[in-house]
Structure 1
């Protein structure tokens, strides 16, 4: 025979046929939308490096979450920018802190209609910009654990559903789990930034959250992007400490790690499509080099195809809109 009996193109002959055999399906229910809320501001502040993303005043959070919820997005992740910073990041675990106020406001207005996740870290709150406290000119891992645990408990008191520790301190999941349980918050889940890499893709976020380190870098606690086996050890360690969801961060350049995590571990897997991924697409789109919606759909679909159950993304709102329209 001059032609093969099996022609894979037969399953691509029409849009409906392609839909019928589609293996990976992306929906708004796969997405988690980050929100930046800043203390003591009255109007929104545009983030120049992340077009369409803004720092919100507390008064705007309810309307923002309403928009997110109406788009079918089931979860938010709150990041706070405080008015005052100090060496211990005390605003992070202040029961009247900006994140705690935002959590309480969302809980009061939405009840259980949306999952409230909060970044549990110190970098936005420390005067040094580091994710832990400094001792002898370096981040003190063990001293930082107590403060991260206090932060998670304070967020839980405000009404948080899920603590998302991103500091990459050894033992942070166990410290937070123990503290939450001791304070009666055994139902609060933990989604750790289990394998968070020291990435150049974070640069726009540091602008958005005002958390660039005042000295040095984060190479001593964030993972080198060259080490896949080490990433799996980080994931396994968090699982052993009692985490509920593990996260790979960033996402697009780390699809192999998302896939390997899905293959190895029977646990929900999240991926964080970070600020640099967002900024690159926005910049190329504004220059007319790519179609923003089509590239966004392809990127998010590839992250899900790799094995992510949920995706934290700055494209959450725009992606949910074009999914609803298509």
Structure 2
């Protein structure tokens, strides 16, 4: 009679692969590098409005000179891209939003300023009318209704102005129907065939945007809400349909926004489409983490853990206000 071979208990010791830092590094399933970072910055045209944003500790509104310094810092740290958000003069905002495609609006001036000092840095922009809209909406409003097709026409003009200014990567964040196809066609027709589109394909009507609205001067100015064009936070399938549509219309990359509360969407998008997938760790996420870190309630490790979660969920990159802090730490 053959005696059975019994493996010693426990047969599998998973802790063997956690024993030392070097072994843990060897078996790490995902990693975080500066290549995974896009740094959002705020650029103001209002004298005296620069400086730290109270609801986003450590984040500042910048002058054009400040934007240049940020671009130089990004290049030195190996951050591949920055995303420019304009803080514009409230007195110059209108219901027709014509400043959105003015070649000399603060956003386009910032694109040129950044390219002047860091020509190889990828410059991403935001395409939505809210920075220049008197009522705070991403689209044109008539009698309380956000008009889809008229907004798309305005967004096309905005996109062409940004491409002319030197933007490399356009980020339509408006969530209007059909805007990706219209932008792609207009860019091709205007000779901007190499300008890429990173679509905010699944942007949710979230409560996590509050500090961002402080940063761009929109807090308290929004008439109504954005629930008729941003995705219901309850709807996973709808978000996937939005992503499928934008990819079919010519988006080169897609984004989920916000980030950590929607990691299930990130994973589903990457698994289903295999396209370059990004997430935006939005202002509310940043403020919660940074506030807790500064109060001693969390360690700085929480910053890195949060970004690794995006990578594990399938994200190729993350827009994060932590970008320079992370890049500096990764340098060491």
Q: Which TM-score band (shorter chain)? A: over 0.9
Distance of 2:24 and 2:10 partners within structure 1: 21
Aligned equivalents of 1:322, 1:110: Cα separation in 2: 22
Question: Structure 1, residues 129-181: CA drift from partner, whole Å, max 9, x if none?
Answer: 00000012111011100111100000000000011000111111111111111
Q: 2 CA distance for matches of 1:168 and 1:256?
A: 20
Aligned to 2:103: 95
Q: Of 95, 117, 122, which residue of structure 2 is paired with 1:109?
A: 117
CA deviations over 1:257-286 (Å, ceiling 9, x no partner):
000001000211011000000000111112
Please, which runs of 5 or more residues in structure 2 have no aligned partner?
A: 1-6
Report the equivalent of 1:135.
142
Alignment pair present for 1:206 and 2:217: no
Matches of 1:222 and 1:12 in 2, distance apart?
Answer: 43
- SS of 1:80's equivalent? strand
Is the 1:130–1:211 contact (alpha carbons within 8 Å) kept by the matching residues of 2?
Answer: no
Partner of 2:42: 36
Distance 1:124 1:99 in 2: 9
* 2:13 is aligned with 1:7: yes
1:170 to 152, 177, 183: 177
Q: How many residues align?
A: 323
* Residue 45 of structure 1: how far off its partner (Å): 2.4
For the 8 Å contact 1:81–1:125, the answer to whether it is kept is no
Aligned match of 1:72 in 78, 85, 89? 78
Aligned-pair RMSD on alpha carbons?
1.2
Report if the CA contact (8 A) 2:125-2:171 is conserved.
yes
User: Bigger radius of gyration, 1 or 2?
Assistant: 2
Equivalence for 1:285: 293
Residue from 301, 315, 319 that aligns with 1:308: 315
For 2:130, what is the secondary structure of its paired residue?
A: coil
The yes-or-no answer on 1:258 pairing with 2:263 is no
- Partners in 2 of 1:277 and 1:244 — Cα distance? 26
Inter-partner Cα distance in structure 1 for 2:287 and 2:256? 19
Residue of structure 2 equivalent to 1:24: 30
3-state SS of 1:70 partner: helix
Q: Matched residue of 1:214: which SS?
A: coil
Deviations 1:86-108 (A, max 9, x none): 11222211011111111111122
Structure 2 partner of 1:52: 58
Distance in 1 of aligned mates of 2:331 and 2:65: 28
TM-score scaled to structure 1, two decimals?
0.96
SS of match in other structure, 1:52: strand
Query: What is the SS of the residue equivalent to 1:41?
Result: coil
Deviation at 1:2, TM superposition (A): 5.5
**Dislocated runs of 4+, deviation >6 Å:** none
Query: Counterpart of 2:328?
Result: 321
